Amino acid sequence: MRIRTLQVRDGIMNKRFAGPVAVAVLSLTLGACTAGEADADGLEISFKARDEATPRDVGLPAYPGAREYREPGDSSAGAAVGLSTPLFGFMVVATDMESSDDPQKVAAFYKRALAKYGPVLDCSDADRSKRSNADHDGDLECESDERGDHEAVYKVGTKNKQRIVAVKSHDGGTRFSLVYLHVREDK
């Protein structure tokens, strides 16, 4: 096995994103292991990690007047991680932001912004575990635990290529997360 690219900028990836990214890597790796076989001598793997991300990196506009949100002790408000092999690949980009505007205003802004990618799936309501967007290949669905303490959660795209926005009240304003997930499965 030959490692072609290893890139880490600005130190170790933000601890806040390490857990979710590790779960995504493990899930994608286990799911893709059955995608095919390759000769180990010619296998090329590319891994990239960056301890920063912006709304633009997610493919969404920055909310007017918003600023990065960092947990105390964190050096960054976002992260980008990607892995590419001949059998599969993935890219996860995530960033946390905050605004003094109310959550409904921020949620409405991002619901409109997501619409440029197709029909927006609203995972905000109590019956979210039964919601899906059959208009897409890959059948994008709301997960039962996805909302957490967020007041609004929106998704657009497909199971393998999606953008997610999660919005909640925070210190008299709004805190929101923007995520881009792209999974490539070669068959």
pTM of the entire predicted model: 0.73
Average pLDDT in the chain: 76
Q: Which of the four pLDDT bands, split at 50, 70 and 90, describes residue 14?
A: very low
Q: Summarize pLDDT for 50-72 with one digit per residue, the tens.
A: 989 999 999 999 999 999 998 88
Query: Which segment of 38-42, 103-107, 168-172 scores lowest on mean pLDDT?
Result: 38-42
pLDDT in tens, 129-165: 444 555 444 478 887 666 677 889 999 999 899 999 9
Is residue 175 predicted with pLDDT exceeding 80? yes
Among 91, 94, 74, CA closest to 83? 91
